[in-house]
Structure 1
């Protein structure tokens, strides 16, 4: 028996939306008649094909092949999640017996795939990331609401692909989850001019893994995180806290760029103090390196052909352009979105145990501050021991209602659930939407590096070629899974011109909302499926933004109208409230034994600077200050990467990029997205989380070894959430979670808010611990095991079937 056991009335098979994309082996491509309609490779956001979100969908893994197309799942972790973390297949290298032959990539099954019993959809988000298209930098979203809007459009369009999808729940992330609920509310307003083309998205919940949600709160948790993890000492903790306070100061001043830079300084100093190869997993001996294999795998022309994208399409892994576009958004909080989601949908917050970037402590910090009447009960809830004894389609969703003539679109990849163990009725199978972070990282990372049904063979020998291999930890095992390249300009998503790339989260949310609604329209079945939005890292803003936007739109719907069926959002190692989160790097590294007291004090000073710029609203300066924090942390720790301070080399997410594009392509076009969102980095979306946690399920999860957006960072801003249930959540027991005889992590839950720390994982949690990530997302969506709803709260997302 599992602690996530659902109540009798909650038996719909979830659909997971993952903001990322995928490649499915040709021999496993579903027949064209599998779906009632032709599924495009991108979800077009505008009328002309220049701005698109890329999506990849995986059906339930154990579902009969002939019926793959009848179900959809939406989910949301970005970059290389599909083929490196939770997709049904891993990308791996294959060595030929004839050494004269060059090595090639192969796919290997992922036993921890999230589409085992759910449909799984990866979305490359925002546009400009992965295969999502942003023809120009201006189209890339600058904030979480803008990203959420894009995701909403993509999800809606995906749902339209199959009538069954309208009835299914969809698991999505905070920003898009918030957006869906808001959108549904809007559509249900009595005085709303009802447009039959607009639908309520059946959002079932949101799951956020190691997410950045409330940066101001989270940035202040790094020192404590490392300190309590035995990674840094007291002197280093104090030094790092000084830099955290600087980031918070900058964030509160609304100096977003400076606050972001200050937050980076905090992370860099933490990295330097700890001397770890990566802050994403402090138990690793080397950084993540197999993500590069996924990128390499996606460079292949045959792979692109299977994806349904043009041979000339350029895969953009972690887009620098998107990163710049959302730079000032880093320290902006989306916690208010979680506040809404937790009240009206399921919310899963999960973290890997060893993630020192956006880990469990970071999440708990901002969760405690949620504006939710049940937060006190959640905080006092017992933390129990948790034991656990494809069809795919891809295309563009046109960006609707913003710039209808430019052609900007969001690229998506959809995987149907592999196994219909939840319900034989596909219309009740949850959909997960996965959104990659960055900003500007393609959801192809999540698709081929983390949680997709296939992974790039990153465990291959250097002489072996890039290939895809099954991912046993795929998130589409029992859920539908959608990967979205978000915002436009990211991956294969299209931004007709740079000016169309979103500059803030509201703009991102608008685009996501259009994409999601148009995706839902792709199949009548999509409209009713429970929707969960998930994502990691910078998706700690995307998820709350789109979740917030959805809930607001749902609230505006006329009575009896059907909105997006958003049930919850899940944020993994996310950056949500930069002002708080940037102040956590020193304490995180300190408590983890990675830096000493002197280093901690030095890093803390930089954090204070980042916070100061953030408070002043000097976003560019705040972002720069955060970068200084992260750089100093990197130098102090000597780690190969801050994403997992136990690694000796960084994650090889570039394998996905190499896999998706020609060798001659040297520059990731999605870099423009990161540049455009530069001032968005230090802006908080915590208010979105606060809204989401009141109306939907919210999951915040982190890997143990992430030094960028790890557990301490998340707990810092969660504690500041304005939510009536925050006290109960903060006082809830943190229970031991076991898979078999092994401790998989810890779970704290009260009401709609869940916080998970996954042991032995870094920033890219599904890649490090695929089976644990899979078990977590499945139990959370299904209210099983430690996620059992022993304490019920009234959630209303205004969804009408």
Structure 2
């Protein structure tokens, strides 16, 4: 063991190891868990005032050989448990056998833990079960959260040295598109500086990623045109009258405002996360004039508890109800070893974070990383109106990488699962971009089989 690593071990081993637990059974799941689940807190920041909570699930295939993923759910402020239960984790709610206040769990046949070790992290502070010991420590921003996540990862790997040699990937979706490349740069630069522990960083994975919110949101109008939600005439008129800027609109530009009012009428009843699914009235009316640019996170799932079930359409948002019931059950908290008194209520997404978005465009980090020996996978559900694939492809093209393979379909069980293109920079850095056909925001929730095939092939260096 390196002599530089020993002081770090002595400093943090008691902190990390004393706050971890192996979970063998969970309320709602019949019998013992058929995989290894560990939960715990890791203190980061000044005087470890920030206590980040995590779920760690070992690969169900070969823990010592398979990749190690650090997974961040978006938001900012959306719990890792949401990514675990609704996207890529080994458990999911069994809706047909759940009722009222008794959610049931079942195994997810398309869990990414079948081929990878995954740390699901509640970050930034105030997300999920993560908390701070002082009010001041609850204040965070993009750069401080990324730094705390890097510190978390260092401490976690010191406490779990058996995973130091596993290929490491920093991963996440939605708003994590801002944070992940910052963290990757922190890890890469830390390795270059010889900061212990040295990490076996291979690359990063991003799904439906936010990169620059203004540009991502603006791309909803070209995407709406491509998908026949906006007419040719309205699109051309809006593009001309607004000079291609649909967010920072001059309030005296009446023609542009009129066009955007028409765009709003076309898009305001469309479900942002998946344009083919029902739009649910689970939020308070938005009185802003232009609704096409509404936030993906405006939904407040608690509001629908009081709604009568009859005469309402099925909506995906209703599935999220079970996570509130389950995660706020005292028996579940005890099973997960949640510290008493640290969080009054678990929320799938915490909208009351004291959080500042201080990185308005993360492309600069991708540009830096594209000069390094790394690999990246960027995927987008092609029915996602919140963060349309056309905007993601636009910033990828701005990196001026060399195309290795042209836009082409890839298949799962003989069916087109999406379309991909591969780029490189001097054959050191490679970036694969792919759509997930029929996927929404975020893709694994809608197309789990296809997304598992995608990540398995990419981790194995196979073409999609």
Q: Are residue 397 (structure 1) and residue 42 (structure 2) matched? A: yes
Q: Separation in 1 of the partners of 2:198 and 2:262?
A: 46
Q: Does residue 572 of structure 1 match 2:202?
A: no
Q: Residue 500 of structure 1: which of 108, 130, 137 is its match?
A: 137
Task: Decide which of 694, 700, 708 is 2:371's aligned counterpart.
Answer: 694
| 1:428 maps to 2:65 | yes
- Contact 1:571–1:701 (Cα < 8 Å) also in 2: yes
Deviation at 1:476, TM superposition (A): 0.6
Deviations 1:338-359 (A, max 9, x none): xxxxxxxxxxxxxxxxxxxxxx
Q: Name the CA distance, whole Å, in 2 between partners of 1:459 and 1:702.
A: 29
Partner of 1:704: 382
- Going from structure 1 to structure 2, the CA distance change for 1:518 and 1:690 (only over 3 Å counts) comes to same
CA shift at 1:716, angstroms? 1.6
In structure 1, distance between residues paired with 2:386 and 2:233: 20
Cα distance in 2 for residues equivalent to 1:509 and 1:630: 36
Structure 2 residue 288 is matched with structure 1 residue 658: no
**Pairs aligned (count):** 383
Give the whole-Å Cα distance in 2 for the aligned partners of 1:756 and 1:611. Answer: 30
**Is the contact between residue 438 and residue 446 of structure 2 (CA under 8 Å) also seen in structure 1?**
yes
* Alignment correspondent of 2:311: none
Return the offset for 1:692.
Answer: 2.1
User: Structure 1 432/666 Cα, relative in aligned 2: closer, same or farther at 3 Å?
Assistant: closer
Deviation string 1:565-609 (CA, Å, 9 cap, x unpaired) is 211111100101234323211001110111224654559849825
C-alpha contact 2:166 2:200 (8 A) present in aligned 1: yes
2:355 to 648, 655, 676: 676
Cα separation, 2, equivalents of 1:568 and 1:519: 19
Q: Within 5 Å, which residues of 2 pair with 1:229-628? A: 390-399=35-44, 402-404=45-47, 406=49, 408-420=50-62, 426-458=63-95, 465-501=102-138, 503-557=140-194, 562-597=197-232, 600=235, 601=237, 605=242, 608=245, 610-611=247-248
Q: 1:784 to 1:495 in 2, by over 3 A?
A: same
* Structure having greater relative contact order (Cα 8 Å, sep ≥ 6): 1
Describe the shift of the 1:672–1:497 C-alpha distance in structure 2 as closer, same or farther (beyond 3 A): farther
* Mapping 1:141-220, distance limit 5 Å: none
1:734 aligned onto 2:407: yes
TM-score after normalising by structure 1: 0.44
Across the aligned residues of Structure 1 and Structure 2, the Cα RMSD in angstroms comes to 3.6
> Is the 8 Å Cα contact of residues 158 and 197 (structure 2) preserved in structure 1?
no
CA gap 1:403/1:466 in 2 versus in 1, 3 angstroms: same
Question: How big is each residue's C-alpha offset from its partner over 1:497-542, in whole Å with a ceiling of 9 and x where there is no partner?
Answer: 4432454322111100011111111222021111111111101112
Q: Aligned partners of 2:174 and 2:189: how far apart in 1? A: 24
Going from structure 1 to structure 2, the CA distance change for 1:671 and 1:744 (only over 3 Å counts) comes to: same
**Cα offset for 1:610?**
2.9
Alignment pair present for 1:765 and 2:443 = yes
How far did residue 738 of structure 1 move?
Answer: 0.5
C-alpha distance in structure 2 between counterparts of 1:782 and 1:655, whole Å: 35
Query: Where does structure 2 lack aligned partners over 5 or more consecutive residues?
Result: 1-15, 251-258, 279-314, 331-342, 425-429
Q: Structure 1 residues 665 and 638, CA, compared in 2 at 3 Å: closer, same or farther?
A: farther
Cα distance between partner residues in 2 of 1:594 and 1:690: 33
Name the structure 2 match of 1:750: 423
Q: Distance in 2 between matches of 1:783 and 1:705?
A: 27
1:42-84 superposed Cα distances (whole Å, 9 cap, x missing partner)? 9xxxxxxxxxxxxx99xxxxxxx9xxxxxxxxxxxxxxxxxxx
**C-alpha deviation, 1:466, in angstroms:** 1.2
For the residue of structure 2 that corresponds to 1:466, the secondary structure is coil
**3-state SS in 1 of match to 2:398:** coil
Q: Residues 631 and 690 of structure 1: is their aligned pair in 2 closer, same or farther, counting only changes over 3 Å?
A: farther
What TM-score do the two structures reach when normalised by structure 2? 0.73
Q: CA deviation at 1:459?
A: 5.4
- Cα contact 1:456–1:655 (8 A) shared by 2: yes
CA distance in 2, matches of 1:505, 1:393: 27
